[in-house]
Each structure stands twice: as structure tokens, then as C-alpha cells.
Amino acid sequence: MLFMRRLKFFIPIGIIILALGAGFFFLSPYGGSPAGRQNQQPQEPLQELTKENLLLSLKSAAEAEDYPAFAKHLKTAYEKGWNKDMDFESIESAAYVKADQTYFIPGNYQKTLEISTIVYNQVPQGWRFQYLRVLALEKLGRQALEAGDLAGAEKLATAILLMTFRPEGANLLADVYIQKIEESLRAGNLQEALNQYAFIKDFEISADRAARLQELITDYR
């Protein structure tokens, strides 16, 4: 009787252990049915990066005007030092000319800025799209200046100079400060005009702008 009672006690425990073991087997990545294991397809290896496939990707993105993809591939080309190869240089040049002729020359400066900024942010060392961005910023700055938006024009001029020194940025900034100084002098605020002159006078600006700034301050001192 004692044996039978002990046997009744151990049977449920054995069933529980067997159930847990079976569950672990089927849940384990090593277990499961043969059909389930067959459905687990091996991952395909990544395509090896070569000059040829990168060149094709860059060309395809340029032709589609997919500038985010173009910028990504161009960045890789620069990182690999392949940008100096004639084929890569030809594609970058063609993309620059296309953006220039399609957007900048017809006067769509905002779109030009958008495109050139996408590429510049990825490849700031690439002179073509850096230069296109400078031209777009300068044109938009001139439009802001003509509209009397001195703050907007100054922001755009500063954006150029934060990229690189360019006369387009320096001269635009000088024109902004000439107007600022003129406004300060008309309002009778000589000290403000002097502070504005002190800020702009050391920039490398054109001779005619430097002369105009000097004339403004000399006449009111």
C-alpha cells in the first residue's frame, strides 16, 4: 500500500516533467518539426562593395534625381578615394550641371538650395555642390535684401561664410551692414552705427563696399 501511494505521488510529477521537456523541445530553435526547420531560410550574404556596383548605383541615382541616394553613394566614393576616378568624377559633374541647368539657371533657388544641401551635408568636401549651395544662398539672400528683410539676408550670408569663405557671402553681408548703418544713422544712433561698422570692417569685402562703409562713418563722426 505504501508503495502504491508513493507511485501515485510520483506519476503526476513525471507527467509534468515530460510536458515541460516536450514544450522546451518544440520551442527551442534546435527543435520543432522538420517542416518548421526547413522554413528557416538562410540569410543571403551582403553584396560586396566594388567600384563597379557603386558606380552603377551612383549613376542610377543621378539619372533618377534621387539626391538622398546620390549623396549617400557619393559619400562612399569619397571615403574610398574613388571620387578622383574619371568615371566617378564624370557622374558627379553631370549631376551638378543637371541641377544647375534644371533649377538654378531658371531661377528656382529654393529647390537648388534643397538639392545642394542634401549633397553638401553628406559630402562637404565636394566643391561642385558646395559651390551650387553658395550660389543658391547668395541669390536667396539678395532677394531677402531687396525685400527689406535684413535679418533673413544676414542669416543667409552667414550660412555661406560658415561653409567656406566666399566673396558672395562676404559682399552680401557687407550690403546688409551698409543698410543697417544707414538706418542707424537716420535714427540718430551713432553708437549703434559704429558698433555695426566695427563688426563688418575687417571682412574681406570688395573695394567699393569698403569705401562706402568708410564714407558713411567718416561723414557722421
pLDDT tens digits for 42-74? 454 445 678 899 999 999 999 999 999 999 999
Cell output for 92: 558627379
* CA gap 158, 148 in Å, rounded: 17
| Same domain (yes/no): 148, 177 | no
Please report, to the nearest 10 degrees, the dihedral formed by the alpha carbons of residues 125, 128, 134, 136 taken in order.
-140
The residue with cell 538650395 is 113
21: pLDDT strictly greater than 50: no
Final residue in a domain of this structure, among 134, 155, 176: 155
Residue 31 resides in a domain: no
What DSSP assignment string belongs to 104-148? ITTT-HHHHHHHHHHHHHH-TT-HHHHHHHHHHHHHHHHHHHHTT
Final residue in a domain of this structure, among 155, 183, 208: 155
| Same domain (yes/no): 151, 184 | no
Structural domain boundaries enclosing 129? 50-155
Residue 101 resides in a domain: yes
| Same domain (yes/no): 172, 123 | no
Q: Which pTM value belongs to this model?
A: 0.76
First to last CA, the chain: 122
* CA gap 154, 148 in Å, rounded: 11
Residue 93 resides in a domain: yes
| Same domain (yes/no): 98, 136 | yes
- Higher-scoring residue by pLDDT: 14, 54: 54
Angle at 80 between CA 75 and CA 82, to 5 degrees: 90
| Same domain (yes/no): 182, 91 | no
Mean pLDDT calculated for residue range 152-170: 96
Mean pLDDT calculated for residue range 141-169: 96
* CA gap 46, 107 in Å, rounded: 43
| Same domain (yes/no): 174, 108 | no
Please give the pLDDT value at position 47: 56
Please give the pLDDT value at position 11: 42
| Same domain (yes/no): 117, 209 | no
| Number of domains the chain contains | 2
Mean pLDDT calculated for residue range 194-206: 94
Please give the pLDDT value at position 217: 86
Please give the pLDDT value at position 220: 64
Query: Model confidence over 104-126: pLDDT tens digits?
Result: 999 999 999 999 999 999 999 99
101: pLDDT strictly greater than 80: yes
Q: How does DSSP classify residue 82?
A: G
- Return the closest-CA partner of residue 88 out of 125, 115, 62, 67: 62
Please give the pLDDT value at position 28: 38
Residue 9 resides in a domain: no
| 3-state SS class at 18 | helix
Residue 122 resides in a domain: yes
